[in-house]
Structure 1
């Protein structure tokens, strides 16, 4: 688009708050934004200045037209922007999309006899009619929550439809063991059943005290009426509720309701993890993924808060955020949430104390969820072999020719514990049974090149004849220099001419950023809008690079630990390698040796009284 294409139109744009829509040549809305001063914001796009963000440059290059709406205030602009983003789902906006691999729990309050079940996507129509959705949860978390609900509440679990099926069949076993209210009998009104379902809603909101009080009252009433079986079932439900409360760590001394939002970016995506504290305990969490990197974090956070809390079943008075937001956005968002909540709602960056601990926990959870997503190659339905097909395309290799990928990494602590790890991926999935570890035999000082040479020479002594197939591709941890060094070793070996080589390039933040090939071609996979194929390849390379580094450094730490134990015990006069092994075999750990008395040390076979005294004195010199 020529820089001056919209110059004349820009002069007519007012200096007022409002919302603007960018359109492509087909008339589709590709971006929606808000501005305090519309003319200034649009001039930043089309005024001929330099645009630093690759994402914004890509968006502007596709703009063929724009339109705008003037509003009276920034809060109005923020709300209108949010509504238009939901309506148009623009390509370049941050959109709140649910990963199908993370289910919700639905409570159908819109029905006469509400149900509680797992759902993979909220139904907008059901939500408008009153259904509530909680989540999204990790799969295992969803199972545990549903199990807890079934243990505590006598909810119907059959597929009968009420009131249609009332009185048609006898109640099932769950009724007789106190696990179901049996609305099928016709003796339970929909008001009574809904009252129990309202307790389930309280359960999701962490309001356990009210539930416990109600169950106690019912139990006492049953006991007074000599209905001991029902009282026993209520007692079991009460115990189940108390067990859940005891297993939940108290994060806040003051019982208060707080949400903590954590962010973590990698592979062109950002994970948002929201932890829900109710009465000081974590009672739930939600996980979302957005297209966007670290540079987009402010827009991601703003859009997440606006889009999520617009339909959230509950808004707490305090929301912890991971960083300071722009003052204008902060003021508008707090005002919007306060009006929706009906009382003051504050966004806060915790700098100290238990609230900071909670904020850090949310961030670390976001990182864990992102690592999990990368390891499984995207969402739950992703085909892990797709990145290999794209890699074949980039290499000009026949389709299906790349199945086994190997990667190597060197780890050491100076001149000590020099080792290497080898990881193997088959059809895009980690094949942990084929992983191998190498402790250097020839290399005695820190030299990554010579260590890699020894590792590769020892690895390629094994082939299909001894059950160890050659790789189709070796992914080198590093850029062009490291790739050339590995190629000089591999290409000098027999039978390696059909093995592809590529280097996994990192950026200044030590995150995977691209791939380089033997012919010198380098493809950067960050700082721009990625295609689905590029995104899949970036995830795969990140997974391989992180896994080989983790595997190698874990082995190095293990070697260092053994060396430290050996040095610690063998520093004791009279204790050599043989007696060190005896002590560790007898006591199991160095800590147990340290805590043992002289008499206990003497019980180890081969340890004399003199040895026992020496060991004891070594660990108890100060006392």
Structure 2
């Protein structure tokens, strides 16, 4: 661990202007980003007596190797720049939001030809409207009920294509839970209008639809059409069931997010209720790791940045009101920033009395319960992870804690389609965003040891190249750098090296990996191998393995990492093998890549028609120029018969695909 005094800038060198600062580790990786109204005052607080620092702040300043800052013109600019860098570099010591659950949304893909209603999680897609979040059970019931009244398509693209080819709708079409646009029961325009009605109902216009159906039901009764009246009655009951599921808690014109927090010295549990149209539409929770000795007001500022700053949360999901137990620091600038994202006014308030204050008490009770649950889970989880990492460090006699472990596995079938995987674990937790896949060809694919040498060499050559690039771009520690400095644009894929490399295999694979590191001059990364047969841990240049007890948490951790690397490798191998199973004559045309092949077949409809086309006709396809058209025509046969050209063939069955 570094001594903060070795990189502490002189007090007189630090400006008193507002700005954003970054702490970097010895590898140049940004590990913390913060902002300050007065940079000198804030930075000096990090180099105070270590005994006065919070545990995480103490760990951060001792992990760092340098500090830099950027002056900005105002506190609003500092707020914006801080969020931008936190989002781009994901520093490990900044506030980390971990959902206590993954909440689904009801989504309508209005950008498709036939809009689809589905339950979605994760990143948001352009052209899709989202409603929620909901709990998993409630959203399925809501969707099932509404499809009775608004029979919008809900099938997958594959099911839709099969129905279009066969001319028969899927089961949902037969039970009247889909209008079946795939077989022409409803036009594209009418189906899109139906999907818009679905969105309008979910958007708060429920009363309008219920009133319309009640009027139609009365008309059907007056015309003695009792069968239609009964169907309308059932539709009304269904809509009312969805509409009344969420109790009215505030005035019907209220759109607000209500937050509360329960915290201890290390973490904070945050809860939010989403109120739309006066009704609670959803609930969400986070667990926040605290780094700085931040006040509640500073905590709320960071929370608002990360909750509403994400692209998928902007505009549509930022409400008119945000209700908090305490006003954030710089709440005027924060409201201005959020208003710019929403393209409308946003107010941040603290409810003092009445229904809003009472609802905040309910949110606070949920936060308190979430914190208790997290603590009970955290105790066992942290203890197990710490024990596993400590056991490994001791068993392998390593000088440094195992903050980062990388595991590599090779996958192939009899030497074909050779691939490798790299999985990453930090602090005992998988970092899936940093997993990598490698395709291996040529001499490196001869056997597993050659493949392992190739993969390790490629990974660490990239690391060394990025370190060199970062060293050339980064200014000296403490230098005042202008906004948008070149150093901040260097986002390395392999910038952070592991403390331990684990390979799936025994002595040959371990020695290959160790040799690759030695050839690159890297000596501070340990290498071990985990052999499957007896689960033995092998180290380089050793005649005997390290035997960990079968009940060892360290062995369990290695096994989980190894199995994850194997899963990731075999998934990539199967995908690559599947693509290699189909070969086409179009692959032999010089300059005709996958995208242009797809455009060509989309234009003509089949390979047979492509063969029969003249160069002038071929050049009418998207992306096909005269020279490429001539090459296609020459490859497929000038007379259109395709003589001398191999057909498209499934390489597994031998079936001709043309």
Distance 1:193 1:268, change over 3 A: farther
**CA separation of 1:173 and 1:392: change in aligned 2, threshold 3 A:** closer
In 2, Cα distance between equivalents of 1:217 and 1:17? 62
TM-score when scaled to structure 1? 0.54
**Separation in structure 2 between the aligned mates of residue 357 and residue 218 of structure 1, nearest angstrom:** 41
What is the correspondence of 1:20-419 to structure 2 with a 5 Å cutoff?
A: 20-46=21-47, 51-99=52-100, 101-119=102-120, 121-123=121-123, 126-127=124-125, 129-161=126-158, 162=160, 165-166=163-164, 168-172=166-170, 174-212=172-210, 232-253=230-251, 255-265=253-263, 268-292=266-290, 297-310=296-309, 311-312=312-313, 313-326=316-329, 328=330, 330-373=331-374, 377=377
Q: CA deviation at 1:138?
A: 3.6
Distance 2:133 2:79 in 1: 25
Deviation at 1:28, TM superposition (A): 1.0
The 1:274–1:199 alpha-carbon spacing in structure 2 relative to 1, beyond 3 Å, is: farther
> Matches of 1:347 and 1:78 in 2, distance apart?
16
Q: Secondary structure at the match of 1:166?
A: helix
User: Secondary structure of 1:331's match?
Assistant: helix
SS at match of 1:277: strand
Please tell me whether the aligned partners of residues 30 and 89 of structure 2 are also in contact (alpha carbons under 8 angstroms).
yes
Judge conservation of contact 1:6–1:46 (CA < 8 Å) in 2. Answer: no
Report the secondary structure of 1:156's partner residue.
coil
C-alpha spacing 1:195/1:236, structure 2 compared with 1 (3 Å)? same
Per-residue CA distance 1:3-54 (angstroms, 9 max, x = gap) = 5444555533433222211111111111111111223222222367874322
CA–CA distance in structure 1, aligned partners of residues 261 and 149 of structure 2:
34
Cα distance, 1:149 vs. partner? 3.7
CA distance in 2, matches of 1:215, 1:186: 25
Classify the secondary structure of the residue corresponding to 2:76: helix
Q: What SS does the corresponding residue of 2:268 show, helix, strand or coil?
A: strand
Is contact 1:178-1:233 (8 Å) kept?
no
On the 8 A contact 2:54/2:292 being kept in 1, the answer is no
Quote the Cα distance in structure 1 between the aligned partners of 2:385 and 2:94. 29
Q: Structure 2 vs 1, CA of residues 16 and 272 (structure 1 numbering), >3 Å: closer, same or farther?
A: same
- Contact 1:135/1:286, CA 8 A, preserved across alignment: no
Alignment partners' CA distance in 1, 2:68 and 2:11: 11
Deviations 1:415-459 (A, max 9, x none): xxxxxxxxxxxxxxxxxxxxxxxxxxxxxxxxxxxxxxxxxxxxx
How many angstroms apart in 2 are the aligned matches of 1:294 and 1:38? 15
Alpha-carbon distance between aligned partners in 2 of 1:147 and 1:300, rounded to the nearest angstrom:
40
Secondary structure of 2:247 counterpart: coil
In structure 2, distance between residues paired with 1:368 and 1:155: 39
SS at match of 1:324: coil
Partner Cα separation in structure 2 for residue 303 and residue 85 of structure 1: 10
Preserved CA contact (<8 Å) 2:321 2:346: yes
How much does 1:234 deviate? 4.4
Tell me the residue number matched to 1:576: none
Cα 1:371–1:331 change in 2 (3 A) is same
Whole-angstrom distance in 2 between the partners of 1:5 and 1:294? 21
Q: Using the alignment, how far apart are the partners of 2:231 and 2:201 within structure 1?
A: 19
- Displacement, 1:135? 5.0
Counterpart contact for 2:57–2:291, Cα < 8 Å: no
Deviation at 1:65, TM superposition (A): 1.2
8 A Cα contact 2:53 2:293, kept in partner = no
Secondary structure of 2:351's match? Answer: coil
Displacement of 1:354 in angstroms is 0.6
Give the Cα separation in 1 of the matches to 2:109 and 2:177. 20
Q: Distance in 1 between matches of 2:10 and 2:188?
A: 61
Which residue in 1 is equivalent to 2:547?
Answer: none
CA RMSD of aligned residues (A): 4.1
Is the partner of 2:91 in helix, strand or coil?
A: coil
Partners of 1:287 and 1:325 lie apart in 2 by 19
Q: CA deviation at 1:391?
A: 7.5
CA distance in structure 1 between the aligned counterparts of 2:264 and 2:362, rounded to whole angstroms = 18
Q: Secondary structure at the match of 2:244?
A: helix
TM-score with structure 2 length normalisation? 0.51
CA distance in 1, matches of 2:293, 2:228: 58
Corresponding residue for residue 628 of structure 2: none
Q: SS where residue 256 of structure 1 aligns?
A: coil
